Amino acid sequence: MEKVRIGIVGTGYIGNVHGRIYSRDERTEIAALFDIVPERAELTAKTIGGKVCSSREELLANCDAVLVTAPNKTHKDIALSAIASGKHVFCEKPFSIGIEDAAELRTAANAGKGVFQVGHNRRYAPVYAKLKELLQSDTPHSAHIKMNRGELKNPVWTGDVNVTGGFLYETTIHLFDMMRFQFGEIEELVAYGSQHEYPEIDEFSIIFKFKNGFHCTFASSSDASWHFPFERIEVFCHHRTIMTEEMERLFDSRGMDANFETLSYHMSEKEEKWGYVQEDKAFIDAILNGTKPPVTADDGFKSVELVESVYKAINTGERIKF
C-alpha cells in the first residue's frame, strides 16, 4: 500500500507533535516540511525526516496531506491553497479567524476533493471520551466549565491579538467545541468580559443555554496562573456530579451519599492523554477508508461563530440568539 505523504506547514511546537506521531505510523511518511524560519524545518527534518522545502508550492508538490500548524492568522490561506491543490487538510484550531474567513474556508473545504479535519484534539482525550460515554446514559441538567491559562507569553505570538484573533480563539475555543460535542447545539448566550493584563479582553464570564434545555456557566481567564486544573468541566445530573480535571482525571459521584469513583489517565503518554494520537489516526482513517473525519469544517465554523458571538455579546451588551 502506498503511504500517505505528509507535508507540515509550520514546524513549531504542535507541528512537531503531529510530525512525531506520523513518523511512527506505518501508513504515513513525513514527506515535506515548510517553515518561514527554515532552521526550524531543518531541525525537525533531523528528528523525523522529510524534505525541507523553500516554499509552500514546493511543499504542495511533494505531499498528499497538509498539516496546517502555523499560527492562527495563517490557517485560512494555507488551508485554501492546500484545498485548491486537491490535498487532504488537517487544520489546527482555530479553523480560521472571523466569520467571513470561516465561511469562505468552510465552502472551499466542503467542496474540496480531499478530507478536511480540524484539530480539536480534546474530543479524543480519554477523559472527555469517557465523559461523553457516561452522559449517553444520563441526562445532564447544567454544568460549570472553566478554561484558563497562566500567561499569553509562550509562544510569543499568543499575546498578539493580530495573530491569534483574540484570547478566545487561542485557548477558550477548545472547550467551546467540547461543549457542542458533549451537550449539543447552543440556542443563546450572555457574556461579560474585562481587560486586565493584556491589550485585549482577557477575562470572560459567559452563560450558555442549549436547544435541548441544558445550560451552563463558563469562566475563562488568560492570566489566572497555571494552577491545576487549568481546565475543568463539572456536570450536574439527577443526584450525580461528574467532574473532570484537565486530561488527567474524572470523578463520578452518584447517589445521595458522598462516594465517588475516580478514573485516572495520568500514566498515559501526553500525546494520547490529550487525544493527538487518536485524532491523527482518525485523519488517516478518513483518507484511506473514506470514513467521515470526526471534526469537520462545519464544526470548525461553529467554534468560530461561538467566539465571534461572545465578543459581540460583550461589545454590544446584547443577548445573542442562534
Ligand X SMILES: NC(=O)c1ccc[n+]([C@@H]2O[C@H](COP(=O)([O-])OP(=O)(O)OC[C@H]3O[C@@H](n4cnc5c(N)ncnc54)[C@H](O)[C@@H]3O)[C@@H](O)[C@H]2O)c1
Task: List residues binding ligand X (CB under 6 A).
Answer: 9-15, 34-37, 40, 69-72, 74, 92-93, 119, 121, 155, 170
Give CA–CA dist 282/147, Å, rounded: 25
Nearer Cβ to ligand X (92/308): 92
Nearer Cβ to ligand X (36/84): 36
Nearer Cβ to ligand X (210/274): 274
Shortest Å distance, C-beta 284 to ligand X:
17
Closest C-alpha among 13, 316, 308 to residue 172: 308
The residues, ordered by sequence, that sit 6+ positions from 57 with a Cβ below 8 Å of its Cβ are none
Give the rounded distance of the alpha carbon of 69 from its chain centre: 12
Shortest Å distance, C-beta 132 to ligand X:
18
Nearer Cβ to ligand X (29/279): 279
Give me the numbers of helices (H) and strands (E) for the chain, helices first please: 12, 15
Shortest Å distance, C-beta 186 to ligand X:
21
Give CA–CA dist 264/247, Å, rounded: 9
Shortest Å distance, C-beta 137 to ligand X:
29
Shortest Å distance, C-beta 172 to ligand X:
12
Cross-strand bridge partners of residue 193: 204
By beta carbon distance, the residue nearest ligand X is: 12
DSSP per residue, 171-194 = IIHHHHHHHHHHH--EEEEEEEEE
Nearer Cβ to ligand X (18/106): 18
Closest C-alpha among 94, 29, 53 to residue 19: 29
